[in-house]
Structure 1
Amino acid sequence: MQSFVLLIWLTLCAAQDAQQRHIANRLTLGVGALALAYLLWSGTTWIGAPATQGGWAALLAMAFTLPGYAMRRLGGGDVKLMTALGLATDGRHVLGVFIGAGLASVCWILLAPRVWLHISQGLRSRLCYLEPGLSRKQPFAPFLLVGLVLTFAWLGM
């Protein structure tokens, strides 16, 4: 059940990022605050890892995303999203999501020019910021969603 809730949350973040190149603070800070409150109240993360794992995962998420933010390759919403994900999961999940997102983004860069033309006009208009060649700074949350799905498949969640 916890995995399903995380998937729904990240799907909402990914959809908003793909459509607006922005993730609302309600989605990132709100879930981050809930994950932190749950962590402090129960002593475990949302998926059941010890609280220390959640803390280290949040620090790991910031270590991965803050350099990209400083170089203007990632937005603040991506940093907040990954930190909230760290508070809700553990280091294995954060690492898996980040690696999966990197692989997904490389695949998209390589395949998008060929695939984009075959996507329906309605879907292209909804995912306009994922258009290949539009910008050097693509929305990252859709790739994080792919990374989460791959991580859940890999870890058997």
Structure 2
Amino acid sequence: MLLMIAMVPVALSDWYLRRISNSLNLVILLAALCVFFSEHSLSYQTWLINAALALCITLPGYLRGAMGGGDVKLLLALSPAWNPVHFMLVFAVGIGTLLTILAAAQAISSCRRPVTGRLLTAAPLQRGLPVGTAIFVGMILTAMISAAGLIV
């Protein structure tokens, strides 16, 4: 829960500004470390595996200019928080959901109907995918799925 609360300003900052500051990433790292030290099922090996996964996911995008340095640091900061399967699930669910929402918004706006509200425009894709927002969405959805007993 602490990690989810800490992710709110990251998600908003990434959505509106496409920037995740180092101070926000530091807060996320501290919250993830709180989770790491409170969970007895997590080990330093899982942390290292997640850090390697985070670099494998983000470095190619960063080197191509498709991802910012804040996105790389965010996934590295989150690496101590979960086991590798949950880490990848949060990422995949978040990216998939956000892409679906943005594609639907783009389809709606292409129908020449006025779209009300600032959140449902296709403009976010023109500036790149807000990975911080996607991670936050993935955290919420995986927590809901887990609470429903569909995943462990």
Shorter-chain-normalised TM-score: which range?
0.7 to 0.9
- Which residue of the other structure, out of 18, 21, 29, is the alignment partner of 1:21? 18
Q: TM-score, normalised by structure 1?
A: 0.75
Unaligned runs of 5+ in 1: none
> After superposition, where does 1:2-151 map in structure 2 within 5 Å?
4-32=1-29, 35=32, 44-45=36-37, 47-48=39-40, 49-113=42-106, 114=108, 117-119=115-117, 124=118, 131-133=121-123, 135-151=126-142
Give the helix-richer structure, 1 or 2: 1
Runs of 4+ that moved beyond 6 A: none
* One-letter amino acid matched to 2:15: A
Report sequence identity in percent.
30
Change (3 A) 1:16 1:51: same
Unaligned runs of 5+ in 2: none
CA distance in 2, matches of 1:47, 1:72: 35
* One-letter amino acid matched to 2:47: G
| Structure 1 residue 31, shift from structure 2 partner | 3.2
Q: How many residues align?
A: 141
Q: TM-score, normalised by structure 2?
A: 0.77
Change (3 A) 1:93 1:54: same
* One-letter amino acid matched to 1:146: V
Output the aligned Cα RMSD. 2.6
| Structure 1 residue 35, shift from structure 2 partner | 4.3
